Structure formats: structure tokens, C-alpha cells
Amino acid sequence: MSPIQEVIINKKTSINPIWIMRQAGRYLPEFREIRAKNPDFIKLCLNHKLSSEITLQPLKRYNFDAAIIFSDILMVPYGLNQKVEFKKNFGPLLGDLNLDKASSMQENKFTERLKPVYKALEIVSNNNLTSNKSTIGFVGAPWTLMVYMINKQSPKLKLKKNFFDDELLINKILLILEKFLKIHIKCQVDNGAQIIQIFDSWAGLLDVKDFSKYIYNPTLSLVEFTKSLNVPVICFPKGIKNYKNYCEIINPDAICIDYEVDPLQANKDIKIPIQGGMDPKVLLTDKENLKKEAKRYLDIFKDHPYIFNLGHGVLPETDPNMMDYLVKIVKDY
């Protein structure tokens, strides 16, 4: 059993595993080299040779306890035939959603479109670099994916005015997503994913009164499904104020907290294993500050099952040497 599974399944507090969201990517020169030759991001995610190579890059450099597959939450809309592209300095742009096409999409057509993602997972999970490490697969939460599918771009701080107007559309999308997210999770597990993380990147946009419909019910369904496959599930509802409620209702195997969460409060309120928390910007400061902040999280959670991670993805301008230093701090703690 890998150190991360030990923490999640056996609730071990004597070890401090570490992996980092977006650990395979933009801050690594070897990734940037590949990216420069492959400007189409979706095509890169669908190139199983390159995406598996990118997934393994950080494990060649650092003593991380997991490989997280290099992919994107928007592969599901792509699998449902919605056009997805990434525009430089802008982010994702999605085409019009053909609801009839999406609802009549056949399972084998969907998995065929995403086959390279599963192939990459298989390659990664069978690589020597991942022995005694966890291979992590992931999906976007239904709410976050629906935001992209209707909004057609990143909502940043607000949704378009009439976002909630078409209730029929919303209910249909949620049903379609529930079905195909489960298929996507199952295919990842079948091809070597030992843990699934559910990213709800835009959970913070919702009013609490809408949580049941858009966050709690749809996510709970995915969590229970993943658990039925005997695979641990980590949830990351970024930006919500009440992690305690979320954990009690959805009951994932572990919860990833964002950098706006008070770790002392989280330690008091949350009974399940905790992951993450540290602000990625700390890696842009100096070694002394990095050590102080990392130790603060490690001290707070020393008697709580804890996986070291950041409270969001690593920033592109991060110095790889600072990451090396962080891993050593955590491992030597």
C-alpha cells in the first residue's frame, strides 16, 4: 500500500506523504519543451505517449508519493462532442453544446474519444517510477463542468446573467454528466487509477441555498460510485466556506482544503483525512518562508491523517528548486 493510501485508508498519522496539484506541468522546463512543440492542449492530453511522459516527469525529479495523470477536467465535455480549445492567456473556450447529441451519446463512442487518457494511465501505473506510489485519476465535479459547458469559458468571478434561467437544460446536463462522469471514473480505475480526485473548482460561486442541488447531490452520487469500486476518493470543493458540512454530507475518503481555509479550524472540524492547504504563492517567496509555512501545516496536522499538498495548483512561475526544497522539508519532518 502506498503512503497516501496508508493515510487515507488506515488513517496513519506517522507519515507525511506529498504530491502537488499540477505537479506535472508549466513550472518544469522539460514540460515547457514538450508544450512548445505541441500547442494544441487537447491534442496533447490525447497523445498517450506524451501525456504519460509528462505525468512521470516530476517523479524523475522529486520524491512525490503520487503520479496524477496529465489530463484535464474538460476532457468529459470533449468526450461528449462539445468543442474545447485552450486560448493562450485566456483559458478554455468551449463551443455550443448540442444537448441532443450529448444525451444520445453512446458509451463506447465516449470511451473511444477518451481512450488515450486511459492508455496513458495504464502506462503510468505500470512504470517502475510509480511502484509504491499512488496513481491518481480525476474528474471535474458536475457543478464545475456544467459551469464550463453553459458559460463556455472560465467564469472567473461571475456567471453569465441568465445562467440559471433554463432549468430544463440544467437538469438534463446534470443527468448526462452523472452518467458519463461515472463511465470516465470507471475507465480510469480499470486502467490503473488507485485514487480518484474530484475537482469542484467553481464551488465558491454558488449560494449556500443552491448547494444541495448543484454540489451535494451530484457529488455524493459520484463519491458513492467511486467507493463502490473500492477506490478511495478525495474531494476538492474550492472556495466554499463550510468544509465541515461538505464532509459530513458527502463523506469522501479525504478532503482537499484550499488556501483560504484556516487549517486550525479544519483540524478541529474535520474528522476525515485532510490534504492540502498551503498557498501556492509561498513557493514564490524564499526558502526560510517556505520552511516556516510548510512546517506550520505539518505541525497543525501532526496528529491528523494528512497529505501534504497546496491549496490550489502549483503556479507556472515556481522555481523547480523551491519544489525540491519543499519535498525535502516534508520528507524530513
Q: Which three cell numbers stand for residue 94?
A: 468551449
Percent of the chain with pLDDT over 90: 96
User: Which whole number is the average pLDDT over 185-212?
Assistant: 97
* C-alpha–C-alpha distance, residues 148 and 138, integer Å: 17
* C-alpha–C-alpha distance, residues 177 and 141, integer Å: 9
Model pLDDT for residues 61-92, shown as the tens digit of each residue:
999 999 999 999 999 999 999 999 998 888 89
Q: Which carries the bigger pLDDT value, residue 158 or residue 168?
A: 168
* C-alpha–C-alpha distance, residues 86 and 91, integer Å: 5
Q: Tell me the C-alpha to C-alpha distance, in Å, between residue 242 and each of 203, 222, 257, 272.
A: 11, 20, 11, 15
* C-alpha–C-alpha distance, residues 229 and 251, integer Å: 16
Radius of gyration in angstroms for the set of CA atoms belonging to the chain, rounded to a whole number: 19
* C-alpha–C-alpha distance, residues 84 and 41, integer Å: 10
**Amino acid identity for residue 229 in this structure:** L
Q: Which three cell numbers stand for residue 29?
A: 522546463
Model pLDDT for residues 168-178, shown as the tens digit of each residue:
999 999 999 99
User: Which whole number is the average pLDDT over 233-242?
Assistant: 97
Per the DSSP assignment, residues forming a β-bridge with 307 are 275
Residue 71's pLDDT is 98
Q: What is the pTM of this model?
A: 0.98
Domain boundaries, the chain: 3-332
Q: Which carries the bigger pLDDT value, residue 161 or residue 53?
A: 53
Residue 274's pLDDT is 98
CB within 8 Å of 143: residues ≥ 6 apart: 200, 202, 203, 206, 214, 215, 218, 219
Confidence category of residue 121, pLDDT binned at 50, 70, 90 = very high
- Alpha-carbon dihedral sign for residues 102, 81, 234, 216: negative
Residue 222 has pLDDT above 80, yes or no: yes
User: Which whole number is the average pLDDT over 12-16?
Assistant: 96
Residue 157's pLDDT is 64
* C-alpha–C-alpha distance, residues 94 and 85, integer Å: 6
Residue 160's pLDDT is 83
Q: Within 13 Å and on the Cβ side, how many CA atoms surround 257?
A: 29
- Alpha-carbon dihedral sign for residues 135, 199, 220, 174: negative
Residue 156's pLDDT is 83
User: Which whole number is the average pLDDT over 147-163?
Assistant: 88
Residue 70's pLDDT is 98
| CATH level 3 topology of 3-332 | TIM Barrel (3.20.20)
Residue 90's pLDDT is 85
Percent of the chain with pLDDT over 70: 100
Q: Which carries the bigger pLDDT value, residue 17 or residue 87?
A: 17
